[in-house]
Amino acid sequence: MKTHFSWLTRFYVSGSVLVTACIAMLDPWSQHRGIMDQDGYGGAVAIGLLAFTALAGLFDVLINDWLPPRYSLRCTHRHRHLVFMAMAIGQVALAFVEARSDDIRPVMARYLLDACVASLVACLGVYSHYWRTRREDAAAFVAGAADALRRAMECGGYYPPILYAAGQLMHAQSQTVRFEGRIYAPIGATLPFTTSGQFESMKFRELTGCAESCDGTNEEVTK
Partner 1 sequence: MSPARILIRLKILVLCCWVPVVRAATLSFDEALAQITLRESLLLGVLMTLAGVTALLFRISNQVNAGGDDKPMKPIRNLPLLVGAHMCGSWLAGICAFFMASHFDMPGLMIGFFVPMVSFGGAKSLELMYNKFVADKLSSAAAAGGPAT
Where is 186: in which H helix or E strand?
Answer: strand 182-186
Is residue 87 within 8 Å of residue 114, measured between CB atoms? yes
Closest approach of partner 1 to the CB of residue 74, in Å: 9
- If the CB atoms of residues 32 and 161 are measured against partner 1, the closer one turns out to be 32
- Closest by Cα among 3, 124, 119 to 65: 3
Closest approach of partner 1 to the CB of residue 214, in Å: 25
Contact positions vs partner 1 (CB under 8 A): 35-36, 38-40, 42-43, 46, 49, 78-79, 81-82, 85-86, 88-90, 92-97, 99-100, 104, 115, 119, 122-123, 126, 129-130, 133-134, 137, 140-141
Is residue 54 within 8 Å of residue 18, measured between CB atoms? yes
Closest approach of partner 1 to the CB of residue 3, in Å: 11
Amino acid identity, position 108: M
- If the CB atoms of residues 107 and 126 are measured against partner 1, the closer one turns out to be 126
- If the CB atoms of residues 82 and 166 are measured against partner 1, the closer one turns out to be 82
- If the CB atoms of residues 19 and 123 are measured against partner 1, the closer one turns out to be 123
Whole-Å CA distances, 136 to 132, 133, 218, 220: 6, 5, 22, 19
Please tell me the distance from the alpha carbon of residue 161 to that of residue 164, in angstroms, as a whole number: 9
